[in-house]
């Protein structure tokens, strides 16, 4: 398999799906003439034309709703929201409309819509440009939410999302766009939505992660191996539906778990993971599930403060050690 970047995997997949199905179209701000703020759609407008790759005014509520209505009539729009911070002005169309149309109308209309957007922070983008809201969408029945961590997963999940007949929120990460990995070229390679993957086998502790945090988890797992600590890494891949079975099976084997998330700690994704584990693997847990997450502040701009507020490898290592120190219950 050729090794390409996460960006390239997305760009390839969008191009292939545009070529495959005339009802697929891309829509968003600056995705055409500008080539995409983060160059995910580079070259696609010149290849497929302005009808298929549509530059929009700054009107997220308008064009997200427009894409939803177009999907109801059979188009398959793939919308780019420049970053997830800007999705708030469009969230009524997604949550009060797109997510409910199929169920609320008794199955009479389908909404084959994909909304791609990068979540999380990088550099010093500060409070309004560094947020994570995937937990908000994961909360909503009727939506499907995926968050690939590798170029391989990005391709497989984007294909599936575009071919899926429900609204899919496709979570990307600015910090992942330049990461590289093997990606199958096979035309019908897809990955299922709603299924997590054990990205690394381990026996001492389970680390649950998604998107960019999976990359950190894999690095930490490798580093700790030298110390003789065997870390199993579960990559959620999908946040809704959540694949609880894969998480629980892993924890039943390792008896310990840490979840790492880039979002704010309270009421974040990790809360659901920890709650689920204690519900379904209570008798297997030798220590409380630890959470590593973003510090709860509007992310400050200053480099040091910003760094101090984001979860990193060292935080994960510390949490793993805490979890391993938690002695076996029956020894207490």
Partner 1 sequence: MTKATKAQQARAAENGRRDLASEDPEQLKHYYHQMLLLRVFEERTSEMYTKAKIGGYCHLNLGEEATIVGLMAALTPDDYIFTNYREHGYVIARGADPGAVMAELFGKETGVSKGRGGSMHLFDAAKHFMGGYAIVGGQLPLATGAAYALKYQGKPGVVVCQMGDATTNIGAWHESLNLAALWKLPALFFIVNNGYGMGTTVEEGSAEPELWKKGCAFQMHGERVDGTDVLAVRDATRRLRQRAEQEGEPAIMDVISFRFRGHSVIDADRYRDAEEVKRERARQDPVLLFAQKLTEAGIVDDAWLKETADRVKREVQEAIDFADKSPDPKIEELFDFMYATPVPNTPGRAEAAAIAEQIGGGR
Site residues for its own copies, window 101-140 (CB under 8 A)? 103-104, 126-128, 135-136, 138-140
Helices (H), the chain: 6-20, 44-48, 60-72, 91, 101-104, 134-138, 151-163, 212-225, 244-254, 269-280, 303-309, 313-325
User: Which DSSP letter does residue 196 get?
Assistant: -
Residue 138 contacts residue 145 (beta carbons within 8 Å): yes
Residue 86 within binding range of ligand TPP, rule CB under 6 A: yes
Site string for partner 1, 185-204 (x = CB under 8 A): -------xxxx---------
Encoding tokens for residue 223? 């580093």
Known catalytic residue at 129? yes
The minimum distance between CB 81 and partner 1, in angstroms, equals 12
Catalytic residue among 60, 80, 134, 261: 60
Which candidate, 21, 72, 77, 85, places its Cα nearest to that of 53? 77
Known catalytic residue at 102? no
Out of 58, 104, 275, 302, point to the residue binding ligand TPP (CB under 6 A). Answer: 58
The minimum distance between CB 87 and ligand TPP, in angstroms, equals 9
Residue 59 within binding range of ligand TPP, rule CB under 6 A: no
Residues in the chain: 332
Out of 226, 304, 328, 332, point to the residue binding partner 1 (CB under 8 A). Answer: 304
Which candidate, 132, 155, 135, places its Cα nearest to that of 143? 135
User: Which DSSP letter does residue 84 get?
Assistant: G
Residues known to be catalytic: 60, 129
Interface residues toward its own copies, by CB under 8 A = 61, 85, 88-89, 91-92, 95-96, 99-100, 103-104, 126-128, 135-136, 138-142, 240, 242, 263-264, 266-275, 278-280, 282-283, 285, 287-291, 296-298, 300, 326, 329-330, 332
């Amino acid at each position: 398999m050729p090794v390409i970047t996460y960006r390239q995997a997305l760009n390839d997949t969008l191009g292939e799906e545009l070529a495959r199905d005339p009802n697929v179209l891309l829509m968003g701000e600056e995705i055409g003439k500008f080539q995409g703020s983060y160059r995910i759609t580079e070259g696609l407008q010149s290849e497929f034309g302005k009808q298929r790759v549509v530059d929009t005014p700054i009107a997220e509520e308008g064009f997200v709703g427009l894409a939803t209505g177009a999907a109801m009539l059979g188009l398959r729009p793939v919308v780019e929201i420049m970053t997830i911070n800007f999705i708030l002005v469009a969230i009524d169309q997604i949550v009060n409309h797109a997510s409910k149309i199929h169920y609320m109308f008794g199955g009479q209309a389908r909404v084959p819509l994909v909304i791609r957007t990068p979540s999380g922070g990088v550099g010093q983008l500060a409070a309004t440009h560094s947020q994570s809201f995937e937990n908000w969408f994961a909360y909503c029945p009727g939506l499907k939410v995926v968050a690939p961590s590798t170029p391989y997963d990005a391709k497989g999940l984007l294909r599936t999302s575009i071919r899926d007949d429900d609204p899919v929120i496709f979570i990307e990460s600015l910090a992942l766009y330049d990461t590289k990995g093997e990606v199958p070229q096979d035309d019908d390679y897809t990955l299922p939505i709603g299924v997590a993957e054990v990205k690394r086998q381990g026996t001492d502790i389970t680390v649950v992660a998604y998107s960019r945090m999976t990359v950190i988890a894999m690095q930490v797992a490798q580093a700790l191996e030298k110390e003789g600590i065997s870390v199993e890494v579960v990559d959620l891949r999908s946040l809704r539906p959540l694949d609880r079975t894969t998480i629980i099976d892993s924890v039943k084997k390792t008896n310990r778990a840490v979840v790492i998330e880039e979002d704010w700690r309270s009421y974040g994704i990790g809360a659901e993971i920890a709650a689920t584990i204690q519900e379904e693997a209570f008798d297997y847990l030798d220590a409380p599930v630890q959470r590593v997450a973003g510090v709860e502040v509007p992310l400050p701009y200053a480099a040091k403060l910003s760094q101090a507020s984001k979860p990193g490898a060292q935080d994960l290592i510390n949490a793993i050690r805490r979890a391993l120190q938690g002695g076996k219950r029956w020894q207490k």
